Amino acid sequence: MSLKIDDNTKVIVQGITGKEGGFHALRCIEYGTNIVAGVTPGRGGQMFNDTIKVYDSMKEATHETGANTSLIFVPAPFAPDAILESIYSGIKTVICITEGIPVNEMIKIYKIANDLGVTLIGPNCPGLINPAQKCKIGIMPGDIFMPGRIGVVSRSGTLTYEAVDQLTKSGIGQSLCVGIGGDPIVGTTFINVLDYFIQDEETDGIVFIGEIGGTKEQEAAEYLKSINNTKPIAALIVGASAPEGKRMGHAGAVISGDSGKAESKMFALKEAGCEIVIHPGQIAETLKKII
Partner 1 sequence: MKIHEYQSKKLLNEFGVPVPKSTIATDKETLLENFRDFQSKAVLKVQVHAGGRGKAGGVKLVDNSQDAVEFADKFFGNLFQTFQTGDESVVVNKILVEEASIIVSEMYLALLVDGSNQSINIIASPEGGTDIEEVASKNPEKIFSLPVNTILGPTDFHVREILDFLNLDKTLFSQLNKIIRGLYKLYIDKDCSLIEINPLILNDNNEIIALDAKITFDEDALFRNKDISELRDLSQENEVEIKTAELGIKYVQLKGSVGCIVNGAGLAMATMDVIQSAGLSPANFLDIGGGADEDKVSKAMSAVLSDGNVKIVLVNLFGGILRCDVAARGFILALKDSDGTPPKLIIRMQGTNSEEGKRILSNTKYNISFAENLDQISQILSSEE
Give the active site residues. Answer: 250
Residue number, 26 or 59, with CB nearest to partner 1:
26
Enumerate the H helices of 170-282 as residue ranges.
190-199, 216-226, 252-256, 262-271
Q: Which range, of 8-16, 47-55, 63-71, 246-254, touches partner 1 by CB under 8 A?
A: 246-254
The CA-CA-CA angle for residues 218, 106, 192, to 5°, reads: 40
Rounded Cα distance between 83 and 42, Å, is 17
Residue number, 55 or 73, with CB nearest to partner 1:
73
Max Cα distance, the chain (Å): 56
Q: Which range, of 10-18, 84-92, 158-166, 200-208, touches partner 1 by CB under 8 A?
A: 158-166
Residue number, 9 or 21, with CB nearest to partner 1:
21
Q: How far is the CB of 10 from partner 1 (least distance, A)?
A: 25
Q: Dihedral sign, CA of 210, 172, 29, 33?
A: negative
Rounded Cα distance between 64 and 46, Å, is 15
Please, are residues 159 and 199 in contact by the beta-carbon 8 Å criterion?
Answer: no
Amino acid at position 276, single letter? I
Residue number, 2 or 114, with CB nearest to partner 1:
114
Q: Which of 5, 152, 153, 159 binds partner 1 (CB under 8 A)?
A: 159
Pairing of strands 127-130, 135-138: antiparallel
Residue number, 64 or 285, with CB nearest to partner 1:
285
**Binders of partner 1 among 81-140, rule CB under 8 A?**
100-105, 107-108, 110-111, 139-140
Amino acid at position 116, single letter? L
Q: Which range, of 88-96, 223-231, 264-272, 273-281, touches partner 1 by CB under 8 A?
A: 273-281
Rounded Cα distance between 197 and 206, Å, is 7
Q: Which of 41, 232, 252, 273 binds partner 1 (CB under 8 A)?
A: 252
Q: Which of 37, 71, 91, 144 binds partner 1 (CB under 8 A)?
A: 144
Please provide the size of the chain in residues.
291
- Is 182 among the residues that bind partner 1 (CB under 8 A)? yes
Residue number, 55 or 223, with CB nearest to partner 1:
223
Q: How far is the CB of 30 from partner 1 (least distance, A)?
A: 14
**Binders of partner 1 among 224-243, rule CB under 8 A?**
236, 238-243
- Is 32 among the residues that bind partner 1 (CB under 8 A)? no
- Is 76 among the residues that bind partner 1 (CB under 8 A)? yes
Q: How far is the CB of 113 from partner 1 (least distance, A)?
A: 10
Please, are residues 206 and 150 in contact by the beta-carbon 8 Å criterion?
Answer: yes
What DSSP string describes 90-159?
Answer: T-SEEEE------HHHHHHHHHHHHHTT-EEE-SSS-EEEETTTTEEEESS-GGG--EEEEEEEES-SHH
Residues that bind partner 1 (CB under 8 A): 20, 23, 76-77, 100-105, 107-108, 110-111, 139-141, 144, 154-162, 165-166, 182, 184-186, 209, 211-212, 214-216, 219, 236, 238-243, 245-247, 249-255, 257-258, 279-282
